[in-house]
A = this chain, B = another copy of it.
């Protein structure tokens, strides 16, 4: 298949496919002149990648999942991610309930409402993006598995 066919079949723009190839997530089976040729199984691979993305994996993590030979899967990583999802689900559930409560509650100040305060405690655990400084720090990916 040429890149346009893959694009159509996968729903991804050609630019993304080139980008994924460059990152080593997929590979083209050859060239016809300059043009990439893909074998049909790249579609499966892309589906797996989409799955990974929507489960919250980064492209690098997904890259690590495909074992050196063949598109197999790192079970440990999978289970770790499942546990992570479990935690996130719990948090989001509390968050959702909290939001609904906040919308309904008419305490003059939400900080006086015990339900709201409980919500804040949950929210606190769920911090988003800040560790920018540990860069060449090495443990980054290892740390969460301890």
Q: State the copy count for this chain.
A: 2
Q: Given A73-B102, A89-B89, A103-B73, is A96 in contact with B82 using a C-beta cutoff of 8 Å?
A: yes
Chain B residues with CB under 8 Å of A55's CB are: 92, 95, 98-99, 123
CA of A5 to CA of B54 in the docked complex: distance in angstroms?
Answer: 39
Known: A51-B98, A51-B120, A85-B95; 10 extra A-B contacts, CB below 8 A, are: A47-B111, A51-B123, A54-B91, A54-B128, A82-B96, A82-B99, A85-B99, A89-B93, A89-B96, A92-B92
Chain A residues with a Cβ closer than 8 Å to the other chain, count: 38
Chain B residues with CB under 8 Å of A102's CB are: 73, 78
Indicate whether A50 reaches chain B with its CB closer than 8 angstroms.
Answer: yes
